[in-house]
Amino acid sequence: GENVEQHPSTLSVQEGDSAVIKCTYSDSASNYFPWYKQELGKGPQLIIDIRSNVGEKKDQRIAVTLNKTAKHFSLHITETQPEDSAVYFCAANQGTGTASKLTFGTGTRLQVTL
């Protein structure tokens, strides 16, 4: 089955700096890669996603890149703010229907300090 590895496990940045979180996946059949933000006591919130036919996607301060050949994808957050502090999870799946179950990484705890 699919295996998703994520690093770093913790990341501390100063407000205004950039943060980068990296993930690798094992199954070349995976074609959808979402990123979730989880705050304490809440469920994961989808913040951005990318499909395998695209190499990069950007939404305001957040961007995701995908390298299919190397089987890795990354989340980039620019101009970090204290409200960006949370745990971030990458995930992967292989399509829709029965192939749509997500395999998650182990999470990155991001702390943005003033």
Q: Distance between CA atoms of 35 and 48, rounded to whole angstroms?
A: 6
β-strand partners of 65: 56, 74
Please identify, using beta-carbon distances, which residue of 78 and 102 lies nearer to another protein. Answer: 102
What's the min distance (Å) between Cβ of 97 and another protein? 7
In 3D, which of 13, 86, 7, 75 has the Cα closest to residue 45?
A: 86
Please identify, using beta-carbon distances, which residue of 40 and 114 lies nearer to another protein. Answer: 40
Q: Distance between CA atoms of 15 and 69, rounded to whole angstroms?
A: 33
What's the min distance (Å) between Cβ of 114 and another protein? 26
What's the min distance (Å) between Cβ of 56 and another protein? 18
Q: Which residues bind another protein (CB under 8 A)?
A: 4, 6, 32, 34, 36, 41-46, 49, 51, 89, 91, 93, 95-98, 100-107
